[in-house]
């Protein structure tokens, strides 16, 4: 009995130690970027691990060189729009594929899966051709249209819909709800954790997307945060302090979004327990 | 009487099942259309390009048509890039997914203290911008960097390793980088999947004397199968198209020993003398590889 | 007299009318990438031009060098170049590749701009088939710049480093290494900058006149690689992994000096507490080669123009680049050094530089620039550069030089047969 208690304590200790170790490893690079925003180039290249006094200077330089507010605004607008639209389009499709599945729809699904197997570099030029013909260069629509419906999100929602109980659907039908209402009123609320994680990931991908925006958005009006940060790396002389200040600012929103949305994961546990 | 017949026929045509099936089609059409227009159409264009040669604005069909595909067989850099990519795939994907499941199941324990904090910490790497990510890894792994200092100090190594300049170790750095950056990402999916599992199942198992490990293998993993399928297809796919790490961490070096397929394709189009036909042909080879691997995965993992 | 005056008046009226007409759509868009360097320079040019032509709107957009290239490639391939700017900056090493690959994008400006007094070696980068496509921006002229305190510790001065050849450089390097333990130079592993600098100083390049690749039959190439390997093996040149580390070796004083394009001065002079400790001279030349000089080039960029835009207006604006005052004004803020010889008369060029103990380094560099041998880049520059880098890495790690060069040549020939 005592031995059991001891090993239980020991395993708890090991577990916490493990988690703390993993967390430290994970956080370290971001910590580095953050404290480097307080340092100058020489200190950063010298590997200084503690903050110095150059934060204000770095930030002043950053804001003097670049229109940070505009980039933030652009990044937020495009990312949020993409999250909302992309979740709407992809989740209803995933739901449709799973709940009403038959061999034709499964067939379509396998074909759609093919779409995610093309390296993006390969379709960059034909896609640009298409958008220039449609007159969508330099537009926000052009920015997120290609990544609105992603095979990945469709598949994710399709697989998650598998755990959506069939009798709930039947019951709803008897209550007189139509198919679309069932989706909106039953599926969406029940799948909150799925939506939360999908939103987190989509926001992150949209926020960090780089290759496509820099091809399609050809005016500085449309600069996004990742473009701004990479602009800082141009030139013969790189001020790493300013770069790191930029990197920190660029990483903050994704962290905040994750903080906000992870509540949905947790809440669902409480629901399951009771 | 006579009038009723067509109406009733019509009614019979729109049976419950057909109605529902039609609703299903309506639901999936917008997404499917978007994918056809923005993925398949460019893909067909790219396929046609893969049969052509010449300057980007004056492409002409090759003779023989499969010339670009034939070229690959004798292209040492391409073969190197395929070898590299598969090395990353075989080593990194399993390690990462296993770690992600372990983290997720540890964090899914409602008695765990500081759960949110741990979760956020493990997720943070994928919120880190590429610039910070590559800067930090390059500084950590330089010859007189922190990693060597720690390994030397603790007596694990007797001589420093030139991490980024030795083919073997440069690959190790890329794999470490990948695991670091993407484990938290996959963990998010497992965590949300685990919310769908009734907590009472675990409680029952615990009463039956199942330990943490048994709960993981006997309950969590089987129930998470659909999510595991999604994430593993996604990871395989992502690794075969790996681009950023190769470009930013090692620049494909030393001597092309860490270059990936997508990186090589990008170079062929954008940094070297532009050869669109050949680049498109190489992309199609990647497409086929991913398709085959995913098909195998689906066959093995997707049992209804 | 009255008639003459009225004629004059009418003429000026007509001229100002046409000027006003031109001003209606007088708009120049420019893509360039570095706020402290080429953007700052263009801003000065803009101010100067707007003083005389207030109606011409000049828009300078910050676009990364790789992005300029990606956008040109996508736009040209889509057959829609209407979104490209009037003027864009291009890396000299890419210029010929782009002009050859996308001839419909770039405007031929031969005869429309006065190229006298620009350094010949610099102009060559943007000349294709004898036609001019670019107006030079900054010099990439190579300099040898060393820490005088380290040299002195081993008993040398900057004069001992001037007009020497690589054999002498090795001797000094060995001696300095023995006395101070310091390597002379540092370089990024796998990068062939130093090798190409050494080759160009002999007027040699990776290609033959006809554009075919030239590694195995090039004595210059082999000699250079041998010298490079010797330096690495003896620790006279240390290889580091990344560009950041390379900059680190300069700013933390772990090497005696460096041989690189003059733009590296920005990094060196950024470390203020090292002021007065540096000196600058030309680079060593290759012994036993007839065409060898002490001058070379690495990097630099030029302005190119998009077809179908108002080239005359753009070139009128570009007159700033034939103006002593312009170069003089941008020098202190950007350290961009002119490739146009008369610029060295500017007061900022002739003035002594405090960081370099009062030496007029900028005038010196303009003189070097005029002596840099032209070299051939062509469409396959980056293919060849990468292949040579692979060969160099393998050769240093013990592979046979001849077979590595043959491999590299194969790789480039393979790329050429597309």
Per the CB < 8 Å rule, is B142 touching C101? no
Measured CA distances, C217 to C210, C287, C413 (Å):
14, 18, 14
How many helices (H) and strands (E) chain B has is answered by 16, 2
B163, closest residue in chain C (CA to CA)? C241
In the numeric block, which tokens belong to residue B109? 């324990």
Residue with tokens 């620790």: C235
Q: If DSSP codes are grouped into helix, strand and coil, which group holds residue C136?
A: strand
Out of B27, B43, B110, the one facing A96 most closely (by C-beta) is B27
User: How would you list the strands of the sheet with C142-147, edge to edge?
Assistant: C257-261, C142-147, C278-281
CB-based contact B138 C244, cutoff 8 Å: yes
* Interface membership of B102 toward A (CB under 8 Å): no
Lowest mean pLDDT of A7-21, B174-188, B288-302, name the range: B288-302
What ipTM does this complex have? Answer: 0.82
- C110: CB partners within 8 A, 6+ apart: C130, C131, C132
Per-residue pLDDT of chain C (418 residues; tens, 9 = 90+): 455 445 544 544 444 444 444 444 589 999 999 888 899 999 999 999 999 999 999 999 988 888 898 889 888 888 888 889 999 999 999 999 999 989 999 999 999 999 999 999 999 999 999 999 999 999 999 999 999 999 999 999 999 999 999 999 999 999 999 999 999 999 998 889 999 999 999 999 999 988 899 999 999 999 999 999 999 999 999 998 888 889 889 988 999 999 999 999 988 988 888 999 999 999 999 999 999 999 999 989 999 999 988 999 999 999 999 999 999 999 988 889 999 999 999 999 999 999 999 999 999 999 999 999 998 888 899 999 989 999 999 999 899 999 999 999 998 998 887 6
Domains of chain B: residue spans and CATH: 77-301 (1.10.3720.10)
Sort strands C127-128 and C27-32 into parallel, antiparallel or unpaired: unpaired
In terms of Cβ atoms closer than 10 Å to its own Cβ (0-12, 13-18, 19+), residue A85 is middle
Substitution target in C105, C242, C252, C387 with the highest count of B β-carbons within 10 Å is C242
- Percentage of residues in chain B having pLDDT higher than 90: 17
Q: How far apart are CA A65 and CA B173, in angstroms?
A: 34
Backbone angles phi, psi at B248, to 5 degrees: -90, -35
Answer whether B204 touches A (CB < 8 Å). Answer: no
Q: List the structure tokens of A240.
A: 């790493």
Which residue(s) pair with B89 in the sheet?
none
d(CA B283, CA B302): 27
Residue B212 burial by Cβ neighbours in a 10 Å radius (0-12, 13-18, 19+): middle
CB A216 within 8 A of CB A142: yes
Q: Which chains touch B (3 or more CB pairs under 8 A)?
A: A, C
Contact of B34 with chain A, judged by CB distance below 8 Å, is answered with: yes
CA–CA separation, A84 and A90 (whole Å): 10
pLDDT for B147-189, tens place per residue?
Answer: 888 888 888 888 888 888 888 998 999 999 999 989 988 998 8
Instruction: From chain A, pick out residues whose CB is under 8 angstroms from the CB of C83.
Output: 132, 137-138, 218
Residues B187 and B122 sit within 8 Å (Cβ to Cβ): yes
Full set of structural domains in chain C with CATH:
27-139+298-356 (3.40.190.10), 142-295+380-416 (3.40.190.10)
* pLDDT per position as a tens digit, C215-238: 999 999 999 999 999 999 999 999
Helices and strands (DSSP H and E) totals, chain C: 17, 12
Distance between CA C315 and CA C297 in Å, rounded?
26
A220 — pLDDT class (breaks 50, 70, 90): confident
CB under 8 Å to B133, separation ≥6 — which residues?
A29, B125, B177, B181, B248
Superfamily designation of domain A67-232: MetI-like (1.10.3720.10)
- Over residues C339-381, the pLDDT tens digits come to 999 999 999 999 999 999 999 999 999 999 999 999 888 889 9
The answer to whether B205 and B214 are in contact (CB under 8 A) is yes
Contact between chains at A235 and C247 (C-beta distance less than 8 A): no
Domain residue limits, chain A: 67-232
Does residue A234 belong to the interface with chain C, where contact is any CB pair within 8 Å?
yes
* Length of chain C (residues): 418
CA atoms within 13 A on the CB side of B118: 22
Q: Which two tokens stand for residue C256?
A: 């005696």
User: How far apart are the CA of B189 and the nearest CA of chain C, in angstroms?
Assistant: 34
- The 10s digit of each residue's pLDDT in C143-175 is 999 999 999 999 999 999 999 999 999 999 999
CB < 8 Å to B54, chain C: 418
Q: Which of C316, C298, C61 is nearest to C188 (CA)?
A: C298
Determine the distance in angstroms separating the CA of A9 from the nearest CA of chain B, rounded to an integer: 13
Contact C356, C362 (CB under 8 A): no
* Residue C401 C-alpha, separation from nearest chain A C-alpha, in angstroms: 32
Query: Cβ neighbours of residue C302 under 8 Å, at least 6 residues apart?
Result: C89, C90, C92, C95, C122, C125, C126, C134, C135, C136, C137
Whether residue C195 contacts residue C392, with contact meaning beta carbons closer than 8 Å, is answered with yes
């Amino acid at each position: 009995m005592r031995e059991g208690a001891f090993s239980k304590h020991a395993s708890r200790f090991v577990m916490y130690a493990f988690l703390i170790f993993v967390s430290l490893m994970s956080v370290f690079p971001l910590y580095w970027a953050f404290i480097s925003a307080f340092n100058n180039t020489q200190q950063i290249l010298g590997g200084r691990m503690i903050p110095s006094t150059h934060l204000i200077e770095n930030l002043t330089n950053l804001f003097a060189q670049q229109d940070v507010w505009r980039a933030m605004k652009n990044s937020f607008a495009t990312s949020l729009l993409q999250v909302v639209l992309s979740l709407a389009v992809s989740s209803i499709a995933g739901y449709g594929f799973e709940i009403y599945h038959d061999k034709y729809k499964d067939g379509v699904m396998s074909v759609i899966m093919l779409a995610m197997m093309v390296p993006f570099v390969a379709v960059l030029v034909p896609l640009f051709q298409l958008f220039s013909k449609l007159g969508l260069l330099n537009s926000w629509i052009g920015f997120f249209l290609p990544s609105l419906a992603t095979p990945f999100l469709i598949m994710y929602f399709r697989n998650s819909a598998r755990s959506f109980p069939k009798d709930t659907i039947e019951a709803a039908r008897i209550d007189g709800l139509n198919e679309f209402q069932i989706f909106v009123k039953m599926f969406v609320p029940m799948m909150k954790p799925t939506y939360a994680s999908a939103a987190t990931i989509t926001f992150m991908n949209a926020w960090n997307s780089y290759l496509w925006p820099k091809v399609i958005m050809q005016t500085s009006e449309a600069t996004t945060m990742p473009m701004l940060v990479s602009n800082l790396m141009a030139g013969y002389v790189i001020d790493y302090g300013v770069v790191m200040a930029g990197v920190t600012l660029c990483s903050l929103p994704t962290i905040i979004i994750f903080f906000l949305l992870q509540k949905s994961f947790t809440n669902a546990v409480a629901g399951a327990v009771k | 009487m006579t009038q009723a017949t067509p109406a009733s026929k019509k009614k019979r045509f729109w049976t419950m099942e057909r109605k529902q099936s039609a609703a299903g089609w309506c639901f999936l059409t917008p997404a499917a259309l978007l994918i056809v227009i923005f993925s398949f159409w460019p893909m067909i264009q790219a396929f046609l390009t893969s049969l052509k040669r010449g300057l980007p604005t004056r492409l002409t069909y090759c003779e023989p048509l499969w010339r670009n595909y034939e070229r690959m067989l004798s292209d040492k850099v391409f073969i190197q890039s395929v070898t590299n990519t598969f090395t990353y795939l075989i080593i990194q994907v399993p390690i990462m997914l296993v770690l992600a499941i372990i983290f997720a199941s540890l964090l899914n324990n409602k008695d765990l203290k500081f759960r949110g904090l741990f979760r956020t910490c493990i997720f943070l790497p994928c919120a880190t911008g590429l610039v910070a990510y590559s800067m930090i890894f390059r500084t950590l792994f330089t010859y007189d960097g922190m990693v060597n200092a720690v390994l030397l100090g603790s007596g694990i190594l007797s001589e420093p390793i030139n991490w980024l300049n030795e083919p073997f170790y440069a690959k190790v750095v890329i794999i470490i980088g990948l695991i670091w950056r993407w484990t938290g990402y996959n963990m998010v999916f497992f965590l949300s999947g685990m919310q769908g599992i009734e907590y009472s199942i675990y409680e029952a198992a615990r009463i039956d004397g199942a330990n943490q490990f048994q709960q993981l293998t006997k309950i969590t993993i089987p129930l998470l199968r659909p999510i595991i399928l999604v994430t593993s297809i996604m990871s395989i796919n992502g690794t075969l198209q790996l681009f950023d790490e190769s470009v930013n961490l090692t620049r494909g070096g030393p001597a092309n020993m860490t270059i990936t397929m997508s990186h090589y394709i990008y170079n062929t189009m954008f940094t070297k003398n532009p050869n669109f036909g050949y680049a498109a042909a190489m992309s199609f080879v990647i497409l086929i590889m991913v398709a085959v691997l995913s098909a195998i995965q689906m066959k093995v993992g997707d049992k209804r | 007299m009255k008639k003459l005056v009225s004629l004059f008046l009418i003429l000026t009226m007509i001229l100002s009318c046409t000027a006003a007409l031109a001003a209606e759509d007088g708009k120049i868009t420019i893509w360039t990438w570095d706020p402290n360097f080429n953007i700052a320079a263009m801003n000065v040019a803009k101010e100067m031009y707007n003083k005389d032509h207030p109606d011409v709107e000049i828009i300078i957009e910050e676009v990364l060098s790789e992005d300029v290239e990606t956008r040109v490639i996508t736009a040209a391939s889509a057959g829609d170049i209407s979104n490209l700017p009037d003027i864009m900056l291009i890396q000299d090493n890419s210029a010929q590749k782009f002009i050859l690959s996308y001839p419909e994008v770039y405007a031929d400006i031969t005869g429309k701009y006065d190229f006298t007094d620009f350094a010949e070696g610099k102009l060559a980068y943007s000349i294709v088939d004898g036609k001019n496509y670019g107006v030079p921006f900054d010099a990439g002229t190579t300099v040898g710049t060393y820490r005088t305190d380290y040299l002195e510790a081993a008993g040398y001065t900057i004069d001992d480093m001037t007009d020497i050849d690589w054999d002498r450089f090795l001797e000094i390097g060995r001696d300095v290494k023995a006395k101070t333990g310091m390597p002379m130079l540092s370089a990024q592993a796998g990068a062939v900058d130093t090798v190409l600098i050494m080759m160009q100083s002999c007027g040699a390049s990776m290609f033959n006149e006809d554009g075919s690749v030239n590694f195995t039959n090039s004595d210059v190439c082999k000699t250079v690689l041998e010298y490079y390997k010797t330096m690495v093996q003896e620790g006279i040149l240390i290889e580091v992994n990344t560009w950041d580390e390379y900059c680190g070796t300069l700013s933390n004083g772990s090497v005696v000096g460096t041989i690189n394009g003059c733009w590296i001065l920005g990094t060196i002079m950024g470390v203020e507490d090292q002021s007065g400790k540096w000196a600058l001279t030309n680079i060593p030349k290759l012994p036993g080669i007839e065409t060898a000089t002490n001058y070379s080039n690495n990097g630099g960029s030029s302005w190119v123009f998009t077809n179908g835009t108002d080239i005359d207006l753009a070139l009128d604006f570009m007159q700033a680049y034939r103006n002593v005052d312009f170069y003089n004004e941008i020098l202190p803020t950007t350290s961009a050094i002119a490739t146009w010889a008369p610029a060295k008369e500017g007061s900022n060029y002739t003035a002594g530089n405090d960081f370099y103990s009062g030496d007029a380094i900028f005038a010196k560099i303009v003189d070097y620039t005029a002596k840099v041998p032209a070299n051939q880049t062509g469409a396959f520059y980056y293919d060849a550069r990468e292949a040579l880098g692979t060969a160099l890495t393998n050769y240093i790690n013990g592979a046979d030089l001849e077979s590595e060069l043959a491999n590299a040549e194969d790789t480039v020939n393979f790329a050429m047969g597309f």
